[in-house]
Chains A and B, each alone.
Chain A
Amino acid sequence: MTDVAIPWVLELLIAVFLLVGALVALLGTLGLVRFPDFYTRLHAPTKASTLGVGCTLLGSMIYFSVIKEGISAQEVLITLFLFVTAPVSAHMMAKAALHRRVNAVKRTRQTPWSEE
């Protein structure tokens, strides 16, 4: 596929990162389907998106560093931005859900509105 020959060790490493990234993202998506209510569903994507995309980007970073001779730093920045923004968006969604009193599953303990 490529003109530049990549050492097999690096090729393996890239493949592992890509596969792990895809697997983690898949599990996150699965969590979105399987968890019972809005609040529990928040947990899967906040964690999986950061590590899943992070692994994929690590693979991409190694690949392009080998191909183009020179470290590509963009991937690190994308990962960093994700780490900073994912918890903020999760926080805002949870806040909005609380404000609208979106129902939690019955067995949830200590719901904030049960005390009122």
Chain B
Amino acid sequence: MSGKLSLRAYWLPRPLFSVFLAVLWLALVNSVSVANILVGLALGFVIPVATRGFWPERARLQRFWPMVEYVLVLVWDIICSNFVVARLTLQRTRNLKPSFVTYPLDLHDDFAITILSGTISLTPGTVSAHYDPESRTLLLHVLNMTGDEAAVIGQIKQRYERRLQEMFG
């Protein structure tokens, strides 16, 4: 609660995020001019202050390369998942075996859990439906479960959660 620090923490909670927003604005309008830079800086100032209350504890990326690997795996899996869902769409939908699965989380960081649930929704045949912070589980809906529950859980753990744990330490 020392005066100067809390003032900065109040009005400029995330300096890097502010810069990022300003650059993002410039990329969106696709032209660099004084007016656009000023608008970008204004957005970079207002948005972090206005959304301060919603931010979770600051998550720290521990390592860079696992993140690159993660993004590449994710893009590949999104492409694959489209083929999987496309095939299921064209088949007789009567043969689908939908199921709910409760997924036990090993991750602790809120931000990492958010990324994991987003990843689950974008990858083949699974959508995350509910996060239970008390039992620390995600409820997933599986479009077509051919194997058993453990197989689905094992695959997500092996492919995504392990990598996220490496990233966030």
CB–CB A94/B128 < 8 A: yes
Report the interface size class on chain B: 35 or more
Option from A83, A104, A112 in Cβ contact (under 8 Å) with B98: A104
The complex places the Cα of A80 from the Cα of B96 at a distance, in Å, of 31
CB contact list, B77-122 vs A, under 8 A: 78-79, 81-82, 85-86, 88-90, 93, 96-102, 117-122
CB–CB B139/A112 < 8 A: yes
Query: Assuming A47-B81, A83-B122, A104-B98, is B129 touching A30 (CB within 8 A)?
Result: no
Query: Assuming A74-B27, A112-B100, is B89 touching A44 (CB within 8 A)?
Result: yes
CB–CB A91/B128 < 8 A: yes
Find the A residue at minimum CB distance from B94: A36
CB–CB A46/B127 < 8 A: yes
CB–CB B118/A107 < 8 A: no
Query: Assuming A36-B96, A84-B118, A109-B97, is B129 touching A43 (CB within 8 A)?
Result: no
Most buried by A among B96, B101, B121: B121
- Does A90 sit at the interface, judged by CB under 8 A? yes
Interface residues of A (CB under 8 A from B): 24, 27-28, 30-31, 34-37, 39-40, 42-44, 46-48, 50-51, 72-74, 77, 83-84, 86-88, 90-91, 94-95, 97-98, 104-105, 107-112
* 8 sampled A-B residue pairs with Cβ under 8 A: A31-B86, A47-B82, A48-B85, A83-B122, A87-B127, A91-B129, A95-B129, A98-B139
